[in-house]
Amino acid sequence: MLHQQLSSLLAQTDIALTELQQQQLVQYVELLDKWNKAYNLTSVRNPSEMVVKHIMDSLMVAPHLAGKQYIDVGTGPGLPGIVLAIALPDTQFVLLDSLGKRVRFLMQVKHALGLDNVTPVQSRVEDYQPSVKLDGVLSRAFASLQDMVQWCEHLIDNSGRFIALKGQFPEQELESLPTGVHFEQKISLEVPELDAERHLIILSKD
């Protein structure tokens, strides 16, 4: 059922995934559903809803990632990082969260799905020092743009990007960006069967 649902949603987008990638996404939803009962990883309880609200919502970001090294800050149960790692197997993702139970879940997902391009890390974002230069910081429902920039500035160099997945266009947040950072682009995302606005906000250093 979930596989059919995912295939039909993908058919409404320009995103092409292999059979294996689709199986991995379905397996991820099943793990999320199973672990959610004990770990309370997401407020979305229904696996079919997870496919729309988590999987498709995260997948729509994939075509807009150009680099090869990203960090997903405040990843929670791996959103959007796990989904993007499945869709972009040649791109490396650090999945950062401060809660041990979430990171334990991410380790389980990495192992079960055979994902060698994800590195789950338990840390506060301010304390984390990446071992390689990162092309971008990703966040989904993590913080305001101001906080994201302030907490994550040390994670990227001058060519890196801040990429925030937002609902409504965050006009007020953009008006009060910290100095040294500018608004580069907004991308409106159309998530199949999701009745809500979605915007990708891209910021870069001056």
To the question of whether residue 145 is assigned a binding role by annotation, the answer is no
Query: On the CB side of 81, how many CA atoms lie within 13 Å of its CA?
Result: 35
78 annotated ligand binder:
no
Identity of the amino acid at 28: Y
Is 140 labelled as part of a ligand binding site?
yes
Write phi, then psi, for 138 (nearest 5 degrees): -105, 145
Confirm whether residue 126 is marked as ligand binding. Answer: yes
- Could you give the angle at the alpha carbon of 83 between the alpha carbons of 114 and 77, nearest 5°? 90
H helices then E strands: how many in the chain?
8, 7
| DSSP conformation class of 175 | H
Binding site annotation covers 160?
no
Tokens of 185: 């682009």
Binding site, annotated residues for S-adenosyl-L-methionine: 74, 79, 125-126, 140
Binding site, annotated residues: 74, 79, 125-126, 140
